[in-house]
Amino acid sequence: MINTAGDNVGVSTPFPPGTERRGLVVDRPYFQRFMATGEPVVSEVIVSRTTLRPTVILGVPVHDEKGAVIGAVLVSLNLQVLADSLQGIAQSPDENILLVDTAERSCFTPASQRSPRDNGDLATSRRSGTLCRAKSLP
């Protein structure tokens, strides 16, 4: 849960030692879109500041009794878990799996589908597939 200042006011995953909770997401584009529109958001792929893993954030607004937005409930999806799940899917030769983020960047493709022409947007995961490289903000 975050407030309109981008402060984390409720969390289910412990923060790494030394992580500042105030203004934690204020610089994230998904938060800025959320604050500008008051609408639910799906983030681009980011590096989570709590898990340090590629993540997608889903956010829905929280309103006060007068209907004003007072914050958001955020859910983070750890893309490594999704990548590991997709890795084991059996495919025929004419099938492909490609996961893209909201910025239309390739985020996952199994190792069997990886081409030598793939650009630097993908980084090797701990398994044999590839997971997108997300830019971490300070």
User: Looking at residue 10, what is its pLDDT?
Assistant: 80
Residue 26 CA to residue 110 CA, distance in Å, equals 34
Residue 132 CA to residue 45 CA, distance in Å, equals 8
User: Looking at residue 14, what is its pLDDT?
Assistant: 73
What pTM, to 2 d.p., does this model score?
0.68
Of 102, 10, 23, the C-alpha closest to 62 is: 10
Which segments in the chain show pLDDT lower than 70? 106-138
Map out the domains of the chain with their CATH numbers. 2-78 (3.30.450.20), 80-132 (no CATH)
| Pairing, β 2-3 against β 41-42 | unpaired
